[in-house]
Structure 1
Amino acid sequence: MNNFWQRTITGFLFVVAIILGLWWNPLAYMSIFAVVILLGMHEFMRMMQGMDVKVRYFWSQTIGIFLYVGSFLFFYSHIQARWLVIIVPLAGGAFLSELYFKNKNSLLNIATTLITPLYVALPFAFLHHLAFYGGEYNPKLLLGFFLLVWANDSGAYIMGSLFGKHKLFPSVSPAKSWEGAIGGIFFTILISIGCFYYFGILSVIDWIVVAGLVGVLGTYGDLIESMLKRSVNIKDSGRVFPGHGGILDRFDGVFFSAPVVSCYLLFC
């Protein structure tokens, strides 16, 4: 099976799974992305295996899941915000436990242990704001957000493959082009107009602004993911999605766009 059809079939199954999870109920949505986060953090920690650093698996996974599930319960069960301060002793535990490991690279160990959940789990915690936008669970805005992310990825891939000549950031990702990046943003804006007519919720201007944020920040997320992989000399973060790579490869457009889109909707 060539790469195009492999990407197409894998991408289709992936999209169907996400849509079904979002539409089923909030607990299904939460559970699907909890698994994504655990796998993503595992991939991120595996990426650093070749470095002289030891990521503390327990603290990274615990902090990441707490960030994600704790913020979900804030919206879903309306728990009091004071319970979220549990993150303080969890983060402190990553520092204190390092005293007992007696490793020469303690600073790097702590830094990588904490950056893992911040890079992978925290962006997904911001998605809860979209899922519960307006106070009650409604998957439409969140589904619209993912449609924009997928439109940006697909548009960039198609336009870059057909017309890509001018390199966007050759030192990090030689295959990405300006034509692909601009095409991705154009596709994203087109889909955002469709989201306005089909989902509503936001004004057409807000949908277009969100599309612009997803297009630009999704591209940066892709480039940053490529930079991180290049720094540890790997091509794909994992093999969960044949033709697409791992969890981090598939969701790199979410890591930087989700927090900014959430903040925009909070203050617009």
Structure 2
Amino acid sequence: RDDNPGSMSNFWQRTITGLFFVVAIVIGLWWHPLAYMSIFALVVLLGMYEFVRMLQGLDVKIRLFWAFLIGLFFYLGSFLFFYAQIQARWLVVIVPLVGGVFLSELYFKNKNSLLNIATTLITPLYVALPFAFLHHLAFYDGEYSYHLLLGFFLMIWANDSGAYVIGSLVGRHKLFPGVSPAKSWEGAVGGFVFTIVAGVFSYYVFGVLKLIDWIIISSLVAVLGTYGDLIESMLKRSVNIKDSGSVLPGHGGVLDRFDGVFFSAPAVSCYLLFC
């Protein structure tokens, strides 16, 4: 997500795509927990696929079977823990799955075994694990409720939109020119303010938490969402690509659209555990 729109045609393309995207997410969250789970399972799969494609230019061989299996286990295992209340001991299945990545590499006889293992493991850790933390928000009170989740995504979208609009209008001072030249401090501040407003709005519409909790959460989303965006830009720059994919016209790929979730979702979940 760049602060500079580039052209009016791109702006309208982003707007139309964004509207369809938001409507699909909102309907999925509201409709049923299995609809919510299915939508983001698709996001996780597409995101891991994009991440693997990003790394194609490197001299590594990501073991797709293990990467996707571990990613789905992170996501579906944590969902079943909350939704079906499976016993936590079943989550230790992750141990042999991770061990399998190391053991299987013995049989491939590849000179870059260390890089193969590292990239195979970083794919589900970077893409799938953050979405597993969303289940804690969905089942915060013990039963599924879309309120906290929808408030979270309203803040994610507010941060993106605020940075985009304010950065496009008045952005002058570069935020991280070596990583993402189009992003500005003005855009980051605009995103922060929009996110706080979305947090206060969520308090009055959804309740669930105290006002101070919504404000703290919105601050976490604004700061860590921006860092998530910058880190993804850093990763794309390291492999010389502009967008992670093209599945969302005007927005790039799934990773481009959800980069604000990668660090903010775990942080919000951890805050809710201790608040």
TM range (shorter): over 0.9
Q: For 1:21 and 1:211, how far apart are their aligned partners in 2?
A: 22
Match of 1:209 among 216, 227, 239: 216
Shift in Å at residue 96 of structure 1? Answer: 0.5
Larger relative contact order, structure 1 or 2 (CA cutoff 8 Å, min sep 6): 2
Give 2:3's aligned residue. Answer: none
Match of 1:6 among 7, 13, 19: 13
Give 2:136's aligned residue. Answer: 129
Q: For 2:73 and 2:205, how far apart are their aligned partners in 1?
A: 34
Shift in Å at residue 83 of structure 1? Answer: 0.3
Give 1:229's aligned residue. Answer: 236
Q: Please report the RMSD computed on the Cα atoms of aligned residues, expressed in angstroms.
A: 0.6
- Amino acid across the alignment from 1:47: M
Deviations 1:5-59 (A, max 9, x none): 0000000000000000001100010011001000000000000101000100000
Give 1:244's aligned residue. Answer: 251
Give 2:4's aligned residue. Answer: none
1:101 partner SS: coil
Corresponding position: 1:255 with 2:262: yes
Runs of 4+ aligned residues of structure 1 deviating over 2 Å after TM superposition are: none
Q: For 2:183 and 2:144, how far apart are their aligned partners in 1?
A: 37
Shift in Å at residue 191 of structure 1? Answer: 1.1
Equivalent residue pairs, number: 268
1:49 partner SS: helix
Q: For 1:172 and 1:207, how far apart are their aligned partners in 2?
A: 30
Match of 1:83 among 74, 77, 90: 90
- Amino acid across the alignment from 2:74: L
TM-score (norm 1): 0.99
Give 2:201's aligned residue. Answer: 194
Give 2:81's aligned residue. Answer: 74
Give 2:180's aligned residue. Answer: 173
- Amino acid across the alignment from 1:10: T
Unaligned runs of 5+ in 1: none
Q: For 1:204 and 1:246, how far apart are their aligned partners in 2?
A: 34
Unaligned runs of 5+ in 2: 1-7
Shift in Å at residue 64 of structure 1? Answer: 0.2
1:85-124 matched pairs, under 5 angstroms: 85-124=92-131
Shift in Å at residue 143 of structure 1? Answer: 0.4
2:223 partner SS: helix
Give 2:34's aligned residue. Answer: 27
Match of 1:65 among 65, 72, 88: 72
1:2 partner SS: helix
Q: For 2:39 and 2:93, how far apart are their aligned partners in 1?
A: 24
Give 2:171's aligned residue. Answer: 164
1:250 partner SS: helix
Q: For 1:218 and 1:193, how far apart are their aligned partners in 2?
A: 18
Q: Percent identity?
A: 78
Deviations 1:180-212 (A, max 9, x none): 000000000011111000000011100000000
Shift in Å at residue 113 of structure 1? Answer: 0.2
2:106 partner SS: helix
